[in-house]
Structure 1
């Protein structure tokens, strides 16, 4: 497969995709509906080479003050800093990621993502990269997908998100030279691919994974905890019977919903799993 690195051509495809994207009334919380509308507007007026600096993407390419100091400190203190975490936190120029004052070679979001992975591996003594499939709920602009591939993941990375955000992910991952699997059906392990999934194609993905023998990891860092209850149940419930590993991060409360109670209930639905809860104040991790 020949990879297309032509920025102008990839951006034209991105704009075409955005123009045809829409949300149903119940597809997202009001906050995210506004974000999607802002992405659509800013794509027409913003600097196309610096899309990670767009105001509409601030929640995805997070500012440095949102990343706790412990994230970078823990990475630097790791005995694997020079051999693993330093290489994994090196940024690219694609989209012009935000600067990180403690280390100009990385970005706040990449530091945060690397810390997620460090915490998961230390808490579980296992890894996500030896799974066949990673199903990520809310993939930001694609940074975690890139990090996991660089960490050695060579399977299928599926991202479930809103159409406008999927367009950003396709733009970023396409400009990064990654190959897309247009459909999960017929996929066989052997080479990294990403696959972008909307509400319309979720059932097809669930069915394919449920009937496969793939080792599937479920990843949702804050995204799931910001869904309306019906929407989070729509995606999480079927995957509780499919996945063997889980990386979830959530804040205590979101728009009146107690995420502490919700994720306590999630643990109770598969009590046979060795759930591990780790702190990232004021948030929490839930790992298997």
Structure 2
């Protein structure tokens, strides 16, 4: 096991060393902020122990959240709590801190399960029967892991910055997910596809499947307007949308943006609501009436 970890760490650092340093090339404050986190993550991967990455500052400040206990209580109140209880058992990869109210899991995994449960509750979609998921900004791979632990068997695509894609590959291999990991577009139906190139994402999404979920929790809402519009054009025929966002991010009023977004898609039913226990943060959950 230790030899496997050392091999994965070596592969991760080799991938990071092959990436060019990121520099700010636009006037977007959002882009500048993510360039900063890219470079912080790069330094952490090269200089710190990846077996403890969940406790690194660039991870804890951007993608590891300790939720209010109401999220756990919501899951515990579901009829299929036993299934969720099994799915949110945390692994040791990354050394995540156990959640104080449920030591078998972490706050972050419970938070992701809560998001997904909101989607299922609002749309009645079946994780086991969905052929594809497209996640924009996949963190270190926790949501992807949760899907597989709930019985997902399709193609899971994560589009992210290259440093985060490298960490996702390290993490998903560390927890032993058996699906093949691809780094470019593919026709394989049962695999994980980690992409950082918009052209590759566009190529991948031309391989249309009958139904797919698009997920972007506090990710696409933290990009420039031009870039998020390009992404939404690529996923315009998603069967389901699961989006979470902060009301205002930098110079962008996200609430107005997503109100306009849903109003242009009349072939969907929408649940658009503030998250009671996270003030000024909202869910936008959509289901295509034609699929």
Aligned position for 1:79: 79
Which is strand-richer, 1 or 2?
Answer: 2
Q: Using the TM superposition, give the Cα deviation of residue 89 of structure 1 relative to its aligned residue in structure 2, in angstroms.
A: 1.2
CA contact 2:242–2:285 (8 Å) conserved in 1: yes
SS state of the match for residue 52, structure 1? helix
Aligned position for 1:126: 125
Q: Using the TM superposition, give the Cα deviation of residue 251 of structure 1 relative to its aligned residue in structure 2, in angstroms.
A: 1.1
Q: Using the TM superposition, give the Cα deviation of residue 245 of structure 1 relative to its aligned residue in structure 2, in angstroms.
A: 1.1
Unaligned runs of 5+ in 2: 287-291
SS state of the match for residue 275, structure 1? strand
Aligned position for 1:184: 185
CA contact 1:5–1:175 (8 Å) conserved in 2: no
Aligned position for 1:47: 49
Unaligned runs of 5+ in 1: none
- Cα-Cα RMSD: 2.0
User: TM-score when scaled to structure 2?
Assistant: 0.88
Aligned position for 2:60: 58
CA contact 2:158–2:193 (8 Å) conserved in 1: yes
My pick for the range that moved more, 243-252 or 141-150, is: 243-252
Q: Spell out the pairing of 1:90-109 with structure 2 (5 A cutoff).
A: 90-109=89-108
Q: Using the TM superposition, give the Cα deviation of residue 63 of structure 1 relative to its aligned residue in structure 2, in angstroms.
A: 4.3
2:266 corresponds to 1:271: yes
Q: Which of 216, 237, 240 is the equivalent residue of 2:233?
A: 237
CA distance in 2, matches of 1:212, 1:128: 18
Number of residue pairs aligned between Structure 1 and Structure 2: 276
User: Where has structure 1 moved over 6 Å in runs of 4 or more?
Assistant: none
Q: Using the TM superposition, give the Cα deviation of residue 128 of structure 1 relative to its aligned residue in structure 2, in angstroms.
A: 4.0
Pick closer, same or farther for the CA change 1:95–1:219 going to 2, 3 Å: same
**More contact order relative to length (CA 8 Å, sep ≥ 6):** 1
SS state of the match for residue 104, structure 1? strand
CA distance in 2, matches of 1:5, 1:135: 33
CA distance in 2, matches of 1:93, 1:48: 12
Aligned position for 2:168: 169
